[in-house]
Structure 1
Amino acid sequence: MATAKVYFRFSGEGNGWGGAQGYGSSNMADNNGAENHAERQAWREAQKKLQSWYDNAHENFDGSPEVKIWVDQTICPQCKLWMIAGVLRNLAAFEFKPKLFVEVKSGGHTRINEVTRDAIWEAGMSDHNGTLAELSAATTIRD
């Protein structure tokens, strides 16, 4: 079973991500499609709250907005591509342009990376750690 949560914060808040804004859970053994993986469920819930969170909080903070997707297992290639191509595109539509981070807790380790089109993720975060071009060639994105 995979669990995912989505958090919002402003840079400069230290480690204070606050409470989860979205939550997802999926059982990998049930052969569910990638569109129902935990991180996608959590994002669908959280993205509906992002604009109002920003509107209500930005005047109290000097930093830039950040979004973190936390997952308790490695991320499949489809979901990694979805984060790069789908979630980044969604975030770019917001006028306040939040940065996206992914945190993976797997194998007794916690790893965090900023998600960008050019970032190579640390080993152990995803089942595919290549470049975006390599990932795109090997994976079909579905949502």
Structure 2
Amino acid sequence: MHTAAVYVNIMENVKQKKPCDVNNCERFRHSSLRKTDILRNTEVTTHVKEIHPNIPLKILPIKIRGPNGTFDVTALLDEGSTATLIESDTATKIGLYGPTSPFCYKWKGEVYHFEDDSQIVETEIAGKNNTSFYKLRNIRTIKNLDLPV
């Protein structure tokens, strides 16, 4: 929603406004901004599971697709995360392989983990009941994530 508001502010400052030319839209915006309608109308359902009363975890059932097929998995959503991670065993099952590179990450308090042979992979994901898949890149494989879900 913040993105749509930014687009509206930009269009208000444009001297020569032109209506969108996609599907007779006639809204004053560039046609490349139409994806905001898709985002605005997308329903996202998450489940919050509390392991400890003060630490709610958002988990979401998704489909993940790779060379070995499409699989139903559970994703943990972490808004503060700076990386996308997948367990090595899951990546292997799906058929995801990529170049290896050492990877260090901070987990559970001040605990740091170092992976000598983390792979950098990419895959596609979709909502459990959706047919549209979205590409995810730069996913790091991690042995035994030990997620509390």
TM range (shorter): under 0.3
Larger Rg: 2
TM-score, normalised to structure 1, is 0.28
Higher helix share: 1
